Amino acid sequence: MFEFGRELKRLFGGETFAPHKDGLTGGDAALMELLTLKMLGDEAKAADVAAGRVGEKDRAARELSAAALWREVARRSGDAVALRRAAATAESAAARFETEKRAEGWARARVEQARSALLGAELFGDEGLNAAAEVAFESAAKSTSLAGVLAAAGLATVAARRVLAQGDAAAVRAAAAAFDAPIAALDAAARREGAFKVAAAETRAARADLLAAAGQRLHDASLVRAAIAELEAAAARLQSTYEPLTWSRIEAQRAGCGVVLGDLLGDVGMIADAIGAMADGLEDQPRDHSPLDWARGQAALALALQTLGEAGLSEQAFEKAVTGFDRAAMVLKHAPGLALRAVVASNRAVCLARCAELTGDLTILDAAEMAFKAELAAAPHRRDPVAWALLQVHLGRLYEARLEITGRDRGERAAAATAFDAALDVFADEGLRSLADVAAQGLKRLRALPVA
């Protein structure tokens, strides 16, 4: 699927590549997908130069294109500096469009600002950025052009993220229905202009995210099946040659939904088939094209193997999951603020603990404990209490596992209780009932655990 991009790299890569002075992509998301991360970064710099050139007649449009490029750089790398640059450039473009009284350009720039904020919330777990995105989308939603459609899709995504945390099945389905009109409009626009194919597919993927995550939380297989159908519809409108990144993201997401559905149905064969599809897709994905997508794919595969391990109590599956998390961590270590890094670190330690439980090897538990404590000491969790509390739950589970294996209490019961209590307080403050129940169940198990 990345053959076209590899050919571009061969022709323009390395020392011979010199981006066009005005940029090659013009902010077209599909064209961006064909460039490697390095080439994309060079394009973004060239677009900045073009926007600042003396005598440039349409500086606002140039800035808008540059903002889209910097946002894609951030999306592929997790670079907070690139994301801030995208947001600042989009803000400057909006101000210029407003001064020039160009309403359509202003609306597109506001959408670009909002998309940067939405990406920041996804990458770094900052809920305040979701609120900022909502404000910007609302201001652009009044536009009667395609900018208004993109804004409506963005508002549906923000609402979906809000509903996902606590909404019941009816609220989830209502939130999913809010995507209907934007998707229909984007599909129609994509038939006239191919540049909108990616936006339409990404909007379908956002709805599928809502359905799958809610289905997993609510143990509702019908929601997960609806997510799979949504992703199949998105993939059918893409070409892997020309939209390789979006296509691979959709396929990985669809395989992940297969894992979730298999877990809900207790179908180990379905989980294994989904893992096979996911692994096949990752084989063709070059790491340098989009390092963060590559790391996200490795983490998703590891999570799927972890699910398979839990379903079949397979030590081998847990060991392979640890290897997958290690691969993802190779990329994520350069971006410590990413929310994905906490997911990878905590689940890696959980897999180590499960291996220890199945084998009785306490040295594995020692390694897991060190990994948890190192992650708890990292700065990102100081501004993310929920992630911190999740790590406390996992640390408590590790102490609990040691008690179960040894049958002797050398302070592990008290340490586990402290960890579960701390997590329970945070989950209660945040109104996360399901997670609070996980911590409460940990305390209940501790009280019932017979040890010397």
- Give the 3-state DSSP-derived string for 2-29, with helices as H, strands as E and coil as C: CHHHHHHHHHHCHHHCCCCCCCCCCCCH
At a CB cut-off of 8 Å and minimum separation 6, what does 239 contact?
Answer: 247
Band (442; pLDDT cuts 50, 70, 90): confident
Q: Does pLDDT of 343 surpass 60?
A: yes
Alpha-helical (H) ranges within 219-243 are 221-236
| 3-class state of residue 150 by DSSP | helix
Which residue did the predictor score with more confidence, 449 or 14? 449
Q: Is residue 84 part of a domain?
A: yes
Average pLDDT, whole number, for the chain? 87
Q: Does pLDDT of 431 surpass 80?
A: no
- Residue 62 belongs to domain spanning: 1-143
Q: How large is the average pLDDT for residues 223-248?
A: 93
Band (200; pLDDT cuts 50, 70, 90): very high
Highest mean pLDDT among 294-303, 419-428, 435-444: 294-303
Q: Does pLDDT of 27 surpass 70?
A: no
Q: What is the pLDDT of residue 341?
A: 81
Band (354; pLDDT cuts 50, 70, 90): confident
Q: Does pLDDT of 62 surpass 80?
A: yes
Band (382; pLDDT cuts 50, 70, 90): low
Q: What is the DSSP letter of 178?
A: T
Q: Is residue 343 part of a domain?
A: no
Q: How large is the average pLDDT for residues 234-241?
A: 90
Q: Is residue 347 part of a domain?
A: no
At a CB cut-off of 8 Å and minimum separation 6, what does 151 contact?
Answer: 107, 110, 111, 114, 137, 138, 140, 141, 143
Q: How large is the average pLDDT for residues 429-447?
A: 81
Helix or strand run (H / E) with residue 283: helix 268-283
Q: Does pLDDT of 165 surpass 80?
A: no
- The residue type at 375: E
Q: How large is the average pLDDT for residues 77-89?
A: 96
> Could you tell me the two tokens for 449?
């655990």
Q: What is the pLDDT of residue 18?
A: 45
Q: What is the pLDDT of residue 6?
A: 55
Which residue did the predictor score with more confidence, 299 or 389? 299
Q: What is the pLDDT of residue 182?
A: 96
Q: What is the pLDDT of residue 336?
A: 66
pLDDT in tens, 204-229: 999 999 999 999 999 999 999 999 99
Instruction: Give the end-to-end CA distance of the chain in Å, rounded to a whole number.
Output: 58
Q: Is residue 264 part of a domain?
A: no
Band (359; pLDDT cuts 50, 70, 90): confident
Q: What is the pLDDT of residue 11?
A: 45
Q: How large is the average pLDDT for residues 7-23?
A: 48
Among 70-79, 218-227, 405-414, which stretch is predicted with the lowest mean pLDDT?
A: 405-414
For the chain, the 3-state helix, strand and coil shares in percent, each to the nearest 5, are 80, 0, 20
Which residue did the predictor score with more confidence, 347 or 68? 68
Contact status, residue 121 vs residue 127, Cβ threshold 8 Å: yes
Q: How large is the average pLDDT for residues 273-290?
A: 90
Q: How large is the average pLDDT for residues 385-401?
A: 82
Q: Is residue 89 part of a domain?
A: yes
> Could you tell me the two tokens for 315?
């030590």
Phi, psi of 337, rounded to the nearest 5 degrees: -80, -5
Q: Is residue 451 part of a domain?
A: no
Which residue did the predictor score with more confidence, 442 or 17? 442
Q: How large is the average pLDDT for residues 308-317?
A: 87
Band (278; pLDDT cuts 50, 70, 90): very high
Q: Is residue 405 part of a domain?
A: no
Q: Does pLDDT of 168 surpass 60?
A: yes
Q: What is the pLDDT of residue 12?
A: 47
Band (199; pLDDT cuts 50, 70, 90): very high
The number of distinct structural domains making up the chain is: 1
Which residue did the predictor score with more confidence, 375 or 67? 67
Q: How large is the average pLDDT for residues 351-357?
A: 83
Is-above-0.85 flag for pTM?
no
Q: Does pLDDT of 14 surpass 50?
A: no
Q: What is the pLDDT of residue 449?
A: 80
Band (101; pLDDT cuts 50, 70, 90): very high
Q: What is the pLDDT of residue 251?
A: 94
Q: Is residue 186 part of a domain?
A: no
